[in-house]
C-alpha cells in the first residue's frame, strides 16, 4: 500500500501536477488520482499548491516543509501541524489554474477528500460521513444521506426500548446549515436555484 500511494505522490501530484515534468493521457491521470487518494493525504489542489510554495519559498516560514524546523517536521511533521500563517498567505498567490482546468484533477478535488468520501463510507458501512459528524456531533446518526450500520444498530435498540432520546437535527436546520456553509456537494444545492 505504501508503494501504491507513493507512486500516486511521486509520479502524480509531484512530477505530473506540480512540476509538469511530463504529460499524461486521461487514463493515466485517473490511475494517478486513485493511487494518490489511497494515501489519505490532502486533496490534489492543496498538495500541489503547498509544494509550489515550498519551491518558491524554500526554508522560510512560508515553506510548508521548512527544514529549519527540524528533520522530523520537514519530512512528516508538517502533515500533523497547523500551517504557518506565511504558508497560507503565500499559497493564496500561487497560480493553480492548470489544476482547476484539468477535469480529472478537478473531479478528484471535488469528490475525493479524506474527510468526506463516499467510497470510504461504503467500505466503512456508513462511518465515513466525517463532515456531517463535525457539523452535528450530537446527532445519534453518523450520516444524513446514507445507510449506517451504527445508525441501524441504535435504531433497532430504540424500537425495543433499550435506546431512547435519540437526538437529531430538524430538516430545516440541516437546510439552513447547508445553504449558509455548504460547499455545493449536498443534494439540496441542486434543488435550490442559485440567486441571480
- Residue 191's pLDDT band, with cuts at 50, 70 and 90, is low
| Predicted confidence (pLDDT) at residue 195 exceeds the cutoff of 50 | no
> Contact at 8 Å (CB) between 156 and 176?
no
pLDDT in tens, 80-115: 888 999 999 999 999 999 999 999 999 988 877 655
| Predicted confidence (pLDDT) at residue 145 exceeds the cutoff of 70 | no
> Contact at 8 Å (CB) between 139 and 147?
no
> Contact at 8 Å (CB) between 44 and 74?
no
Rg (CA), the chain: 20
In this prediction, residues 133-140 reach a mean pLDDT of 73
Say what the pLDDT of residue 173 is: 82
Say what the pLDDT of residue 70 is: 93
61 or 139: which leads in pLDDT: 61
- Residue 9's pLDDT band, with cuts at 50, 70 and 90, is very high
Contacts 24+ apart (CB under 8 A), 170-173: none
* Prediction pTM value: 0.63
Say what the pLDDT of residue 163 is: 87
| Predicted confidence (pLDDT) at residue 67 exceeds the cutoff of 70 | yes
| Predicted confidence (pLDDT) at residue 187 exceeds the cutoff of 70 | no
Q: What is the mean pLDDT of the chain?
A: 83
Say what the pLDDT of residue 186 is: 59
C-alpha atoms less than 13 angstroms from C-alpha of 136 in its C-beta half-sphere: 19
Kindly list the distances between the CA atom of residue 35 and the CA atoms of 9, 13, 109, in Å, as whole numbers in the listed order. Answer: 8, 10, 14
In this prediction, residues 115-139 reach a mean pLDDT of 66
| Predicted confidence (pLDDT) at residue 78 exceeds the cutoff of 70 | yes
Kindly state the DSSP code that residue 22 receives in the 8-state scheme.
Answer: S
In this prediction, residues 53-71 reach a mean pLDDT of 94
Give the C-alpha separation, 136 to 172, whole Å.
13
Say what the pLDDT of residue 194 is: 45
Give the C-alpha separation, 196 to 187, whole Å.
20
Say what the pLDDT of residue 144 is: 66
> Residue 55's Cα: distance from chain center in Å?
23
Angle (nearest 5°) at CA 175 between 170 and 177: 100
State the sign of the Cα–Cα–Cα–Cα dihedral 136, 142, 143, 144: negative
Amino acid at each position: 500500500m505504501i508503494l501504491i500511494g507513493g507512486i500516486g505522490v511521486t509520479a502524480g501530484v509531484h512530477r505530473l501536477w506540480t512540476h509538469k515534468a511530463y504529460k499524461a493521457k486521461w487514463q493515466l491521470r485517473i490511475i494517478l488520482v486513485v493511487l494518490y487518494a489511497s494515501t489519505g493525504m490532502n486533496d490534489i489542489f492543496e498538495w500541489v499548491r503547498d509544494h509550489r510554495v515550498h519551491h518558491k519559498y524554500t526554508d522560510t516560514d512560508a515553506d510548508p516543509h521548512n527544514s529549519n524546523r527540524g528533520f522530523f517536521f520537514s519530512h512528516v511533521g508538517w502533515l500533523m501541524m497547523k500551517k504557518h500563517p506565511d504558508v497560507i498567505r503565500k499559497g493564496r498567490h500561487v497560480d493553480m489554474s492548470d489544476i482547476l482546468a484539468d477535469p480529472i484533477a478537478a473531479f478528484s478535488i471535488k469528490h475525493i477528500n479524506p474527510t468526506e468520501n463516499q467510497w470510504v463510507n461504503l467500505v466503512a458501512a456508513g462511518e465515513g460521513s466525517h463532515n456531517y459528524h463535525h457539523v452535528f456531533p450530537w446527532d445519534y446518526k453518523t450520516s444524513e444521506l446514507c445507510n449506517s450500520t451504527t445508525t441501524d444498530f441504535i435504531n433497532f435498540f430504540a424500537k425495543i426500548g433499550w435506546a431512547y432520546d435519540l437526538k437529531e437535527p430538524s430538516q430545516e436546520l440541516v437546510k439552513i446549515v447547508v445553504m449558509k456553509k455548504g460547499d455545493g456537494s449536498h443534494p439540496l444545492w441542486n434543488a435550490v436555484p442559485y440567486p441571480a
